[in-house]
Amino acid sequence: MAISNCLFSPTSENPCGFSVWCVLAKLRAKPRNEIIHKTVVKYLRKSKIISSLVLILIIGCKSQSGIKYSADDGLGFEYLNIKQSFNMKLVDFFQNTAHCGTEGLPYALLIGKTESEFVPENITVLSYCDNRIFKVGEKLKIELTENPTEKTTMNPIYFVKDTIINGNKNRWLIGSEYKAIWGRPIKLKK
């Protein structure tokens, strides 16, 4: 029995020293490149189908769901014109999650009850580019700052909430129920 690179061949040896069975086996086998090509083509067909389905889903999801926004009266705050700092107790807080270099004016939103006679009882404070975290119930001193919308053409990045009432989608600006100021909160020691 002869041993070749291909098989153990009990018969059909030729004088050159290789097995005829080995030659026949190599002629019958599929080349490696052909196997890879078929696998890749099969994978690409599957991925094209999946990509097409994902694209259809994305386009379908972007269509209107039948809920229409009621006419917005324009989002914005009504600003107070006050000149001196005041103290307040924090009632609600929305943290700034944007960076100062964005294409808008990021701010932290603080809603509080004031302890001053010349400021309304409830007030909204917008703290420009403030990434600090405040806890509800904290006592804060509010130092007034200049309104950044007066220095630039950019607008604030508003905190909004959507509500559906009788099939109409309403969007309201969080904190706009109270008069607002731009200020810098300072934590007061207990």
Q: Are 58 and 120 in contact (CB under 8 A)?
A: no
Tokens standing for 95? 């943290």
Percent of the chain with pLDDT over 70: 70
**Mean pLDDT in the chain?**
77
CA-nearest of 65, 61, 60 to 169 is 65
Tokens standing for 19? 């097995």
Residue-wise pLDDT tens digits, 84-93: 899 999 999 9
CA 133, 104, 62 angle in degrees (round to 5)? 100
Residue-wise pLDDT tens digits, 143-180: 999 988 888 888 888 888 888 878 788 888 889 899 99
Long-range contacts of 17-26 (CB under 8 A, 24+ apart): none
Region 63-67 average pLDDT = 51
Residue-wise pLDDT tens digits, 12-52: 455 555 555 555 455 455 555 666 667 766 777 777 788 77
Rounded-to-integer distance, Cα 54 and Cα 43, Å = 16
- Model-level pTM? 0.59
Residue with tokens 């919308």: 149
H-run or E-run covering 68:
strand 68-69
Residue of higher predicted confidence among 184 and 39: 184
